[in-house]
Structure 1
Amino acid sequence: MFKPIVDIRARIYDMAHDPKHSSVMSYEEGGERFAVGLKLPYTQQDWHDKRRSTDTVLDEARGIVTRVGDETVGEMWSLFDGREMLNDVDPRFAVNIERHINTVLRNDPFHVSANTDPKGDRSKRPQDQDPDMLLHVVKETDAGIIVRGAKYETAAAYANQAFTKPTIANWGDDKLSDYAVGFVCDFSSPNLRFIARTGFAGRAPAEDYPLSNRVDEVDTLVIYDNVLIPWENVLFYQYTKAAQFIRSTLHRYSAFAFVQRNQKLADLMIGAALWNVRQTGLEKQQAVQEKLATLACYREGINAHLTAAIATAEPSPAGLLMPNQSLLMAGRVLACSQLHHMMHIARELCGGQICITPDYASFRDPEAGKWLEKFYTLNDNWYAEDRRKLLAFARDLLNSDYAGHRLTFQLFAQAPPFAHLAAVYNNFDWKEPLRFTKEAAGLSDRVYGPQNFAAAAK
């Protein structure tokens, strides 16, 4: 069950050295080559290069893989932007983040993300229940901090390390908390336990479930049973201000690669639906074209947000170039909130046969196969085998256990929907709508005068 995704991650490394892909997957600096996906973004071209690199990986995988490294390293850049805040907390932490970013750049480890805890009873503070429900520090030593708890981490069982940080938690008014901790965890550390969910690969033949057997990413509950985190790997500790900062800026960069995958997922849905209506001769019907156009609007809406986010990119506090935050976060809401609607439209266009078609073995059976060959052959261009392959692919993309898992994953993988909308609220520029409406409605300067305007806009 690990093998397919491990093979893809290995292929990503190989692509950096493959003459066919090396110019897309890597760049040269100081006589050495480095991974494009891990490069610190300083220019719009850097973002165009990253986008092209990710598309190339997904094309090579022939499906959507999310936790492969390029979309998680951006979370480290968000903390890099908070160096001044980290210096105020403890000067060691800012040095640590710079060192880890340079290590990632030079060594290209498989770096993943650790966000979500089991959480327990969320009506209670973490201190008022089993303390291990949220990862926390239990002891300080000269060598580092000792942590206990657990995190759900996709790809952890076959990755090198994770940026581990607090979930959205209730600290109350505490300025210091043992739950407000962020660090890089080396997955070879003692006292780590990995409990992986059952993967989809191998459950059924690849001929019937091509995506489940090729691109499933196995999620793991990582248990920290008194794990030592060396001080040089600690990025922030105790100060809830630092924890709140990283939660509010965590997806400043990583959301781009995440949303880009929704665009590629839209391509797969459009392709499956369009091939089906072409096979069955329904492409010219207006009702069919309207549904295809709806899928296309969804896809191009995502594309427009990503393209505009690069075109109007903004300098970050650390001098990096971050995608326009309002556009990027609004694009994420569009991509995630409308995905289930688009999947249902794609199901309609693929028709009921995606849920009733017999399996590959039936098509190969001497008795049943001849009848299936007859009824699944459409015309001189579309024979039964291509019809079967398309229906099996569409079923796995839209109807299978894997499809349901991916839908939920896309909804929650970066943050829950309320946090998506909160990011839009916190990044949208409210001043211009207020100014325009004030002038159009003739509102009094007593309320929205120049001296009050900035406060009102906030």
Structure 2
Amino acid sequence: MIRTGTEYLEGLKDGREVYVDGERVHDVASHPALKPIVAAKARMYDLHHETPSLTFADADGTHSLLQAPPLTKEDWQKKWDGVDLVLRDLGGTVTRMGDETVGEMWSLADGRDVLASIDPRFAGNIDRHIREVVTKDPFHVSANTDPKGDRSRPVDQRDPDMMIRVVRETDAGIVIRGAKFETAAPYADQAFLKPTVGAWTDEKESQHAVGCIVKMGAPGVKHICRASFATQGSATDHPIGARFDEVEALVVFDDVLIPWEDVFFYRHTRAAQFIRGTLHRYSAFPYVLRLLHNADAMIGAAMWNARQTGLEKLQGVQEQLAELVCYREGIRAHLTASIALAETSPAGFLMPNQSILYAGRVLACSQLPVAMHTARELIGGQVCVTPDAAQFAGEAGEWLRKFYTLNECWDAEDRRRLLAYARDLLTSGYAGHRLAFAQFAQAPHFSHLAAVYRSFDFEGPLDLVRRAAGLSDQVMGKDKIGKAA
């Protein structure tokens, strides 16, 4: 039931329409811009066959535990351990690998009754797709952000294709047009296409209120990729970007047929509003977990630099390293607490404590630029000025080896390797791209804060101040009336 890496690669040969650098790609798995990250995903599939701790068995066979809906705290800890194992094996942090997007389907299941009350035809599709993700083991991603167009204009005055829309119904299903930006779509099997961030209170938006599964090789789906960092330098000089660039694409849907069995809702703004409010209640966990791995990479690079250069014992260096550790441990504490105080969801899954998880996401994302700057300060300016590996191997290599050798323990090659890694992690074009991605991958920062506001229980602090300030007992009831009004 778990596919092999070879089976995953074969599945990409479905005639999908992918464009890179202005040209049609005929073999996604071998194209230089996509080959490294596709190989990483294939390795993830093969690793499941080598590592029993990544799997579980039921009456239908053996499956990836990363795809299974969580029912216990132990399930969440196993998922955490599984992501740790996969990323350590790959040797880098990869965000879009399936486990962090399948949780959006579990959120759909939690809203099954709400969606069924809006349109009962599609409720069964949710349960079936959750099960098929487990049994068929697809590489499942999600499509979120639309081009949107000129947002100073009302939705009905823009080019309607600027947001995904339903253009007609057929006996076979709905037909959609528009576009979405999506990470990993060119080498994924399917995507959960859902409404973008918005209020979804105007019925004029209803044609854009659609949620469905789209096969990435379906007729009419076109993947127009951005330039890849994998082709902009060798892995010797760009050890992260050349191996782990998860290529985004503008995915164009040119009259794409979505079979009825793949539709969850359409032409319902209330459904879109509900989904946007609950979408990340599970998927925020693996998303924040990736940022924990990124924090470890920054700490490791900064600490190795301190040891190489002999600055580890300086108090100022220790203090800055401690700041990075506080950032890292803050993320870990939120993840741990969200499991410890997890709650049963409407669908019967175990849902991480929402207030704690969303607060952890705000911490991880909002403080990431600060943490990166601290790491840059600790490593210093040599990350910006160190020559590439060809220079070390060339005619001038003798001089570079002289000035980059630190002592009998640290030779020039180890120094060059560490600085190349730190540059790619903190100061390269790839590093800037990843920083921007982290700020918007699930939602913009204001949406992160809105999730915290919606999930936090204000009644405790309100009652505390009511008692401490001597407010009348009636104010709590009056406050509820005021909120309702």
Q: Which category of TM-score, normalised to the shorter sequence, fits these structures?
A: over 0.9
Deviation track 1:113-139 (CA, whole Å, cap 9, x = no partner) reads 100000111122221110000000011
Query: Is it true that 1:138 corresponds to 2:167 in the alignment?
Result: yes
Q: Which residue of 2 aligns with 1:266?
A: 295
Q: Secondary structure at the match of 1:163?
A: strand
Query: Is it true that 1:364 corresponds to 2:387 in the alignment?
Result: no
Q: Which residue of 2 aligns with 1:16?
A: 48
Q: Which structure 2 segments of 5+ residues have no match?
A: 1-32
Q: Which residue of 2 aligns with 1:326?
A: 355
CA distance in 2, matches of 1:136, 1:293: 50
Evaluate the alpha carbon distance shift between residue 170 and residue 436 of structure 1 in structure 2; reply closer, same or farther with a 3 A threshold: closer
CA distance in 1, matches of 2:279, 2:201: 21
Deviation track 1:254-313 (CA, whole Å, cap 9, x = no partner) reads 000000000000000000000001100111111111100000000000000000000000
CA distance in 2, matches of 1:331, 1:169: 23
Q: Aligned letter for 1:414?
A: Q
Q: Give, in angstroms, the shift of residue 187 of structure 1.
A: 1.5
CA distance in 2, matches of 1:194, 1:406: 20
Q: Which structure 1 segments of 5+ residues have no match?
A: none
2:209 and 2:266 in contact (8 A); partners too: yes
Count of aligned positions: 452
Moved over 6 A (4+): none
Evaluate the alpha carbon distance shift between residue 99 and residue 382 of structure 1 in structure 2; reply closer, same or farther with a 3 A threshold: same
1:430 and 1:457 in contact (8 A); partners too: no
Evaluate the alpha carbon distance shift between residue 242 and residue 175 of structure 1 in structure 2; reply closer, same or farther with a 3 A threshold: farther
Deviation track 1:196-222 (CA, whole Å, cap 9, x = no partner) reads 111101211211110011111000111
CA distance in 1, matches of 2:368, 2:76: 24
Q: Which residue of 2 aligns with 1:241?
A: 270
Q: Which residue of 2 aligns with 1:382?
A: 410
CA distance in 1, matches of 2:214, 2:55: 26
Q: What percentage of residue pairs aligned between the two structures are identical? A: 60
Q: Secondary structure at the match of 1:232?
A: helix
Q: Secondary structure at the match of 2:146?
A: coil
Deviation track 1:372-428 (CA, whole Å, cap 9, x = no partner) reads 111111111101100000000000000111100000000000000000000000001
Query: Is it true that 1:435 corresponds to 2:463 in the alignment?
Result: yes
Q: Aligned letter for 1:143?
A: A
Q: Which residue of 2 aligns with 1:111?
A: 140
Deviation track 1:24-66 (CA, whole Å, cap 9, x = no partner) reads x111222721101111111000100111111111111211101
Q: Aligned letter for 1:29?
A: D
CA distance in 1, matches of 2:78, 2:200: 40
Q: Give, in angstroms, the shift of residue 22 of structure 1.
A: 2.5
Deviation track 1:290-341 (CA, whole Å, cap 9, x = no partner) reads 1000000000000000000000001111111100000000000000000000
2:201 and 2:270 in contact (8 A); partners too: no
Query: Is it true that 1:7 corresponds to 2:35 in the alignment?
Result: no
Structure 2 counterparts to residues 89-100 of structure 1, below 5 A:
89-100=118-129
Higher mean C-alpha deviation, range 26-35 or range 214-223: 26-35
1:434 and 1:457 in contact (8 A); partners too: no
Query: Is it true that 1:76 corresponds to 2:108 in the alignment?
Result: no
Structure 2 counterparts to residues 170-249 of structure 1, below 5 A:
171-174=200-203, 177-249=206-278
1:431 and 1:457 in contact (8 A); partners too: no
Q: Under a length normalisation based on structure 1, what TM-score does the superposition of the two structures give?
A: 0.97
CA RMSD in angstroms, aligned pairs only: 1.3
Structure 2 counterparts to residues 274-313 of structure 1, below 5 A:
274-313=303-342
2:299 and 2:321 in contact (8 A); partners too: yes
